[in-house]
């Protein structure tokens, strides 16, 4: 019985077999397949309010918003804007592309205190970005306005469409391989389970009294299964089962087994 439980448990595990973890920077399976799709999700958050410490879906702070968007690509950014500046690769302002993170000095001091996502690259160093503004919530603004121009610090490229496609291809290959292995193991477990069922069936079909001793009764003139059963304290059905009889017919001199 314990062996049977183990096999059944194994089959359940195989059915829910998870994907293996993705390589860095991917920490999860992408829900969208391109930077453009991620930006579409970002723009769907427009006008949602700013709230410190929030990562959506109803309110955001600046780094919570960028984390929310990149999670749809299967990428988990660091939590704060300062820490997110360590993610990805540094990119020059004139080389910005949609999807890049842009960082700005905070309202106090020279350290990084704000982050947004590039949605459009203009000529030279100009760009537009979407971010969680403390006063306006999720909004698209021009990075060339004096306020942001003075506060601009750096930019990071987290991933590219090419890397996303490569990751999705790797996931598909991994899923196919793991599914094939799971099907093979499930088939082996199923075959073993069938063997156990057959063994159980054989035991159930075997006479329950096969290890009990028995005596013999030689059928005499006038004997019937009914009076023989009364003599030995058993039932007619038991006599039939013990002796493989289909009906009540017995013959003179026939030897019948009587289980004790």
Token readout for 219 is 């059928």
The dihedral built from the CA positions of residue 212, 213, 218 and 223, taken in this order, carries a sign that is negative
Cα distance between residue 63 and residue 102, in whole Å: 11
| Alpha-carbon torsion angle 97, 98, 103, 107, nearest 10 | 130
CB 164 within 8 A of CB 100: no
The token duo for 233 is 């304290």
Cα–Cα–Cα angle for 155, 156, 162, nearest 5°?
Answer: 135
Alpha-carbon distance of 236 to 227, in angstroms, equals: 9
User: Which region, left, alpha or beta, applies to residue 233 given φ > 0 means left and ψ of -120 to 50 means alpha?
Assistant: left
- Give the residue numbers annotated as catalytic, written as ranges: 62, 114, 131
């Amino acid at each position: 019985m314990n062996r049977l439980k183990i096999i059944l448990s194994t089959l359940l595990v195989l059915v829910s077999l998870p994907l293996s973890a993705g390589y860095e920077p991917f920490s999860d399976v992408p829900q969208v397949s391109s930077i453009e799709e991620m930006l579409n999700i970002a723009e769907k958050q427009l006008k949602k309010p700013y709230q410190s410490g929030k990562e959506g879906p109803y309110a955001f702070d600046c780094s919570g918003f960028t984390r929310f968007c990149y999670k749809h690509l299967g990428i988990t950014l660091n939590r704060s804007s300062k820490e997110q500046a360590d993610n990805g690769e540094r990119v020059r302002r004139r080389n910005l592309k949609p999807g890049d993170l842009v960082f700005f000095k905070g309202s106090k001091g020279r350290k990084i205190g704000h982050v947004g996502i590039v949605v459009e690259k203009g000529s030279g160093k100009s760009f537009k970005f979407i971010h969680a503004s403390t006063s306006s919530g999720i909004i698209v603004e021009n990075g060339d306005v004096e306020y942001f121009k003075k506060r601009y610090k750096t930019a990071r490229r987290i991933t590219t469409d090419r890397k996303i496609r490569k990751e999705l291809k790797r996931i598909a290959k991994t899923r196919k391989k793991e599914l094939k292995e799971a099907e093979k193991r499930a088939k082996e477990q199923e075959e073993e389970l069938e063997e156990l069922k057959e063994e159980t069936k054989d035991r159930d079909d075997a006479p329950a009294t096969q290890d009990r001793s028995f005596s013999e009764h030689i059928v005499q003139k006038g004997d019937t299964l009914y009076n023989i059963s009364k003599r030995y304290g058993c039932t007619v059905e038991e006599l039939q089962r013990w002796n493989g009889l289909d009906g009540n017919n017995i013959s003179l001199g026939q030897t019948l087994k009587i289980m004790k």
